[in-house]
Amino acid sequence: MFSIVRRGGKPVDILDGLAHPDGRVWGTYIHGVFDNDLFRRKFLGELQERTGRGRDKAFTFFSYRKWKEEQFDHLADHVRRYADVERIYRLLGLL
């Protein structure tokens, strides 16, 4: 299913995952495989074609990485607003 060519910054040659020959069922141990925007778009496009609808031409690009960073920023804003961050830093010996 997948060929892993690098792990921990070192070259490897590892096969991962299995797929049914018709491609309708597959699995992998690769964590976050759908976090990759290009892979996810291709995968969903192929599903659209398989259902007979064709690829959605109006599909807008979605950056998971950007969305994830925005969520972390929202969380950080929330923590700064409702927690005594300065006191936490002092307790950790960072101030």
Q: Over the stretch 49-81, which tens digit does the pLDDT of each residue have?
A: 888 877 776 666 788 989 999 999 999 999 999
Closest listed residue to residue 46, CA positions, set 55, 36, 59, 37: 55
Nearest-angstrom CA–CA distance, 50 and 72: 36
- Determine the pLDDT at residue 10: 95
Q: What is the DSSP string of 3-20?
A: EEEEETTEEEEEEE-EE-
Q: What's the whole-model pTM score?
A: 0.60
| For residue 6, pLDDT beyond 90 | yes
For residue 8, the enclosing domain spans: 2-91
- Highest mean pLDDT: which range of 9-13, 28-32, 37-41: 9-13
Compare 83 and 39 and report the one with higher pLDDT. 83
Considering its fold, how many domains does the chain have in total? 1
- Determine the pLDDT at residue 76: 96
